[in-house]
Copies of this chain bind each other. A is one copy, B any other.
């Protein structure tokens, strides 16, 4: 492992890009946030519905789900909109990941028969859009929970500690935190990690794009991820507190 490899933007290998979370960015939504991680910018909104999908009705439990999309020019090459009958495989994977990750931070029984639909729309994409979406979505979700409480629709706290996500990877044989697009496209391993506030794993997805990786590599990446998640949690807390004040 070569700690001297210079990164695209001069960061240290265990350094996140600058993170900025603006809560309440979309004023018509019950909860929302704009999250910026370097040049990756994602708008997250949380919409409350006082019902649940048909297949889970009548059980007194709530539901949280997500949709993900990119503006066509979030990227340097225009990307087609997901408008055909077939929703792209990548989009579906990301949507499922976001929804699953957030549900790991919510007590659906306490939520009652309410649904929260998270929309993540990428304004600008420079790597790590799915992890930024999860991190921002948790702030939007907190806003929606706050709204439900303010409107007397829930009483207890359904949130069980924060959910945040970060990407790590191995580039030029070097484990790195928070890959930018250019790094990601050269990475041998690309790993997305979702953790809760207590530092336990909610989801680990690590793919060898080039060379398969060893247990040692994995451990190095998991350590980097913890560093990033800790920083993101601080930013999330700050954003959520500002919502309540």
A-to-B contact residues, CB < 8 Å? 26-29, 32, 43, 45, 47, 49, 67, 69, 71-76, 78, 81-87, 89-90, 92-93, 95-96, 100, 104, 117, 119, 121, 123-124, 191, 195-196, 198, 200-208, 211-215, 217-218, 222
Is there an interface contact between A84 and B85, defined as CB atoms closer than 8 Å?
yes
Given the contacts A93-B96, A96-B93, A75 and B28 also touching, CB distance less than 8 Å: yes
Apart from A85-B86, A204-B204: 20 A-B pairs, beta carbons within 8 A:
A26-B123, A26-B124, A27-B124, A28-B75, A28-B124, A32-B73, A43-B123, A45-B73, A72-B119, A78-B119, A82-B83, A84-B85, A87-B89, A191-B204, A198-B212, A201-B208, A201-B214, A202-B207, A202-B208, A215-B222
List 9 A-B residue pairs with CB atoms under 8 Å apart, sorted by A's residue number: A47-B72, A47-B73, A86-B86, A92-B92, A196-B212, A200-B214, A203-B207, A204-B204, A204-B205
Chain B residues contacting A121 (CB-CB under 8 Å) are 71
- This chain's copy number in the assembly: 6
Q: How far is the CA of A93 from the CA of B211 in the complex (A)?
A: 21
Which of A71, A203, A212 has the most B CB atoms < 10 Å from its CB? A212
Q: How far is the CA of A132 from the CA of B146 in the complex (A)?
A: 33
Is there an interface contact between A71 and B26, defined as CB atoms closer than 8 Å?
yes
Is there an interface contact between B201 and A206, defined as CB atoms closer than 8 Å?
yes
Q: How far is the CA of A195 from the CA of B129 in the complex (A)?
A: 27
Chain B residues contacting A95 (CB-CB under 8 Å) are 89
Chain B residues contacting A195 (CB-CB under 8 Å) are 212
Q: How far is the CA of A112 from the CA of B208 in the complex (A)?
A: 22
Is there an interface contact between A206 and B203, defined as CB atoms closer than 8 Å?
yes
A28 in complex: contacting residue of B74, B104, B208, B218, CB < 8 Å: B74
Chain B residues contacting A204 (CB-CB under 8 Å) are 191, 204-206, 218
A87 in complex: contacting residue of B27, B86, B202, B217, CB < 8 Å: B86
Q: How far is the CA of A71 from the CA of B87 in the complex (A)?
A: 17
A93 in complex: contacting residue of B89, B124, B222, CB < 8 Å: B89
Q: How far is the CA of A82 from the CA of B81 in the complex (A)?
A: 9
Is there an interface contact between B222 and A200, defined as CB atoms closer than 8 Å?
no
A69 to chain B, nearest CB (A): 7
A41 to chain B, nearest CB (A): 10
